[in-house]
Structure 1
Amino acid sequence: MSPYTQPLSVPRPRGLRTLATGLSLVASLTACSIASPVSPDVTPVAQTTTTETTSDDNTLIGTYQEGYDLGYEHGSTTGARAGAGFLSERTEEYREGYDAGYTTGKDEAEAATKNPVTSFGTPMEWEDGLTLTVTNDGYFTPSEWAAVGDFPTYLSFTFTVTNGTSTTWTSSGYTQVTSAGSAGDEVYDSDQGYGGAPTAPVLPGQSITWKQGFGVADPADLTMNVSLDWDHVDVVYTTLEDAWTF
């Protein structure tokens, strides 16, 4: 038989064998990496702990009420408003409170230095508890020996002071009357008990009452200024309703 009639035996290429071996190795490595993943090489970062420090100056941030209280104190006590730099360090709410408190305190402080004007018979009470009431009791006729000027009308007034303070009170003031553009004149009439304001001390919780008479030009146009002492603002009583402040 001719050797050319035998089937050919072709050897497997060496390149394919190498490729198959490589693919097998890659598959093996992949399987291993899935089963046991390798942790990444990460360098840990040092952690730092921050602690908030609280400022000792708690007024840098305040509430509306705190601002109101401080503003009121400035308005009523010093009468001097804090500068813009002072307020800019506060919160908006604090500043609003400060402004409101300042306005209220300032208004009350200014009102306290003005003479309150009221009607006869209306009690006037000061912050320390002292109370004054003056009533217009109407006409009277001075006695023959009374010390008084020549007026068409004489009016009698009753004064009552109640000492609601914690100290003894003594009158040291004066009373002035104007009527229809002219000054009135006080009546001194011992026979009827008109002798000016008493100077006797009044203990806390006690009251004192006295009467004074004045000659006036027109009882319908009457204004009386009462000064009890140097420690309390004067009170103005008047028949002119438009002038009343309380």
Structure 2
Amino acid sequence: MSPYTQPLSVPPLRGARAVAAALSLVGSLTACGLAAPVAPEVTPTASSTSTEPAETEPTLTGTYQEGYDLGYEHGSTTGARAGTTFLAERTEQFNDGYEAGYSTGKDEAEAANQNPVTSFGTPMEWEDGLTLTVTNDGYFTPSEWAAVGDFPTYLSFTFTVTNGTATTWSSSGYTQVTSGGVAGDEVYDSDQGYGGAPTAPVLAGQSITWKQGFGVTDPADLTMNVSLDWDHVDVVYTTVEDAWTF
């Protein structure tokens, strides 16, 4: 029989050889990541008693006035109507305010590029319902103690404002007149009721009427710029028909 046909046998490990084999096996397992890992040291951090407040997302849902202000700004600056998704996120009251502000802002932004020019006696109505009518009532003679410059002609005008808005209105503007290329001068005559525009409040749905007088150079060539307040575009009244825009 050939000696190579005998089964091979491994002699039992004894003594130091057994201990060495065991240590070698543990080292192999550790290298392969099979041995239990050693927990890393953790350094405790100082606890903080302050907490950051949770940030809340700003919302545009609010009062009618907030909607009006937003709509006015949107209309005035871009002239682009908000989409249905935008409006659907707001309350019904906010939507009403937004629409009112949008239409007013957009229309007045467009009108600001060219102030409306019309004839005396023609009413001017703004989007919010405020209406102005100025009529030329013709010549008058200032009283002896009237405060007025030296002009060849003095004209009387009647102003009527109807407050069709939803809020109280009062005048805070001014009136300027030119005639024949020369600036006119307002007449202050308390004896005849010429004292400038009143500043008394006008409730919604009510009207106010007053008169103002001006010294002019040429009544046939007359232009008047009326500014009622800061919220409504100025109106130009003139006798020059070619300049009328409505």
Please say whether Structure 1 and Structure 2 have the same fold, judged by a TM-score greater than 0.5: yes
Alignment-derived partner of residue 65 in structure 2? none
Q: Which residue matches 2:7?
A: none
Aligned twin of 1:184? 184
Instruction: After TM superposition, list the pairs within 5 Å mapping 1:166-205 onto structure 2.
Output: 166-205=166-205
* Correspondence 1:47-66 to 2 at 5 A: none
Aligned CA distance change for structure 1 residues 152 and 164 (closer, same or farther; 3 Å):
same
| Preserved CA contact (<8 Å) 2:222 2:238 | yes
Corresponding position of 2:157: 157
Q: Aligned runs of 1:63-212 on 2, under 5 Å? A: 78-79=77-78, 109-212=109-212
Q: Following superposition, which runs of at least 4 residues in structure 1 exceed 3 angstroms of deviation? A: 75-81, 105-109
Match of 1:240 in 2: 240
Percent of aligned pairs with the same residue? 90
TM-score, normalised to structure 2, is 0.57
Counterpart-to-counterpart distance in 2, 1:198 and 1:76: 31
Larger radius of gyration: 1
Name the structure where helix makes up a greater proportion of residues. 1
Q: Distance in 1 between matches of 2:165 and 2:180?
A: 37
**Offset of residue 77 of structure 1:** 5.0
Cα distance, 1:106–1:123 mapped onto 2, change above 3 Å: closer
CA contact (8 A) 1:114 1:233 kept: no
Note the C-alpha offset of 1:110.
2.5
> What's the CA shift for 1:240?
0.1
Aligned Cα RMSD in Å?
2.3
What residue ranges of structure 2 are gaps of 5+ in the alignment?
1-73, 81-104
Give 1:225's aligned residue: 225
Q: Output the CA distance in 2 between the equivalents of 1:109 and 1:149.
A: 37
> Which runs of 5 or more residues in structure 1 are unaligned?
1-74, 82-104
1:79 counterpart letter in structure 2 = T
Measured after TM superposition, the shift of residue 115 of structure 1 is 1.0
